A and B are shown apart, each in its own frame.
Chain A
Amino acid sequence: MTSLPPALGERLALILGDEYDAYLRQLDAPPRACLRVNTLKTTVAEVRGLVSEQGASLEPVPWCPTGFWVDDKDEDGARVKSGAQGLGASVEHFQGLFYLQDAASLLPPEALSPAGDDVVMDAAAAPGGKATHLAALMSNGGALVANEVDTHRTKVLRFNLNRMGVVNAAVTTLDMTRLPDAGRIFDKILLDAPCSCEGRIQEDAEALAQWRPAKIQRCSRLQRRLLETCFSLLSPGGALVYSTCTLSPEENEEVIDHLLKSRGDADVEEITGLSGRHAGGLPEWRGASYDDRVTRCLRLYPHHHGTQGFFVARIRKCR
């Protein structure tokens, strides 16, 4: 059974309350493989056929019409194991017909819901799962700025944009802790912020080994700066989705609360269209009370659907 550092266990018990035991049981479950069909090159029907040829089946992800869990099933239809073995090395993967990613990471682009004539930024885009998803939602139209400050990671970002056939993107290397002199040009921005990765400790031993309370505070300070910069680049009436794969309120609700207190033109919107089990944002944490609007944010816990833990907030710039 996965063993959590006592300080982390104590925090998660407080965050999850009655759901903590279910969460602990999920930690030892095998990760559930998921693919997103690349509608820039193919159709759901074609990929469904290709996967079934390999003896696996696709189960729809409730919050993404092109997202599917890949399961191998026995004769009675019971799920026996993840069916993604070999898909990453398959001919169809090489052809860019699908992207393998955790189902929870499909939620932020769907919540942003960009249109084909929008100017969109993915502020922390490598390795490209969400950026290529945004491009597909935009049908390769409009303009997508796929930003990655770490120039070593732009190579894999470019590779994935190429593999998925994206023509509407510019890869940029802005440091988003500083406001670029680009104007308020973006209709929509996705900020999937660097975080302490608590939501993926069940599948990422390094994330668990590197977990420290001090890291949460460091990440929280960075996230506030990144969110302020991104919000400043948004055009009036524009929308921003902030997400992390961590469960700490300091990196989630507290970051949103800070923006709401510092920017009178920011508002949190409900994320519509998500069916399936999830939780709302936490209104308070360890004696700190947040703006009521943070309860409109969304928390996805690993035991809800067998995904990574995720936090998603949709913010509107009112003027």
Chain B
Amino acid sequence: MSLRLLAAEEKRQLLASLAESYGVDEDALEGCEVLEGEEGYWAVSPLVTSLPLKKLRTDSIGLLLARSRGGGVTPTVAALQLFARPQRDALRLSKADASAFIDRKAITVETTEGLHVVFSGSHALDMGEVRDGRLARVKSRNRAETESRD
């Protein structure tokens, strides 16, 4: 895997964008380095990047933070669950609706149309999209992978 360490200003811009659009807490990533690869952006503890990664036959490092898409970036489920904090567009679900949401069942909600970071309790679940008053999870290649089970 070929990864490039983002310079401080590049990292600041990326995190500001994720904070603005998805409520990702910039401070939560303060201790992490951010690297850019073909798939997108990775958050990783700094000491990891000092390892002899090639000699160790490295498959992946850190946590895939966001994917590059059409000039923008979309955070992964794992990143949202670790770093997202409730903000103005956040959508909070009851336990029953949260179960339905993660099972990819569309549920009726009363909120604005478009993308929302969806929460159950104080922890994020995933990103959802509201159309015609129905909320459904946003599909992506990464999401399919992160939902595989033991």
Using a CB–CB distance below 8 Å, which chain A residues touch chain B? 40-42, 50, 90-92, 94-97, 117, 119, 127, 140-145, 147, 151, 154-156, 158-163, 165-174, 180-183, 185
Contact = CB atoms under 8 A, between A and B. Distances in A.
B145 A171 contact: no
A95 B78 CA distance: 9
A144 B48 CA distance: 7
Given A94-B102, A167-B63, A173 B32 contact: no
B98 interface: yes
A155 B51 CA distance: 22
22 contacts: A41-B81, A91-B120, A94-B102, A95-B81, A95-B123, A141-B31, A143-B47, A143-B48, A147-B56, A154-B59, A155-B145, A156-B150, A161-B63, A163-B146, A165-B63, A165-B78, A167-B44, A168-B44, A169-B48, A171-B61, A172-B58, A180-B56
B43 interface: yes
Interface centre among B44, B146, B150 (most CB of A within 10 A): B150
B130 interface: no
B98 A162 contact: no
B36 to A, nearest CB: 16
B61 A170 contact: yes
Interface centre among B50, B98, B123, B146 (most CB of A within 10 A): B123
Instruction: Categorize the interface residue count of chain B.
Output: 35 or more
Contact of A41 (B32, B63, B123): B123
Contacts of A156: 148-150
Given A97-B123, A163-B78, A91 B52 contact: no
A174 B55 CA distance: 9
A170 B102 contact: no
Q: Is the interface of B mostly helix, strand, loop or mixed?
A: mixed
B124 to A, nearest CB: 7
B32 A167 contact: yes
Contact of B125 (A95, A165, A174): A95
B59 A171 contact: yes
Contacts of B64: 162
A50 B121 CA distance: 10
A127 B124 CA distance: 24
A182 B148 contact: no
Contacts of A173: 57, 59
Given A156-B150, A165-B81, A170-B58, A95 B120 contact: yes
A230 to B, nearest CB: 13
A178 to B, nearest CB: 11
B82 interface: yes
Interface string B132-150: 0000000000000111111
B87 interface: no
A40 B146 CA distance: 18
A172 B125 contact: no
B28 to A, nearest CB: 10
B38 to A, nearest CB: 16
Contact of A167 (B45, B52, B56): B45
Given A50-B121, A158-B59, A162-B77, 9 more contacts: A91-B120, A142-B47, A155-B148, A160-B150, A168-B44, A168-B45, A171-B59, A172-B58, A185-B52
Which A-B residue pairs are the 8 nearest by beta carbons?
A: A168-B45, A162-B78, A165-B82, A143-B47, A170-B61, A172-B56, A143-B48, A171-B59
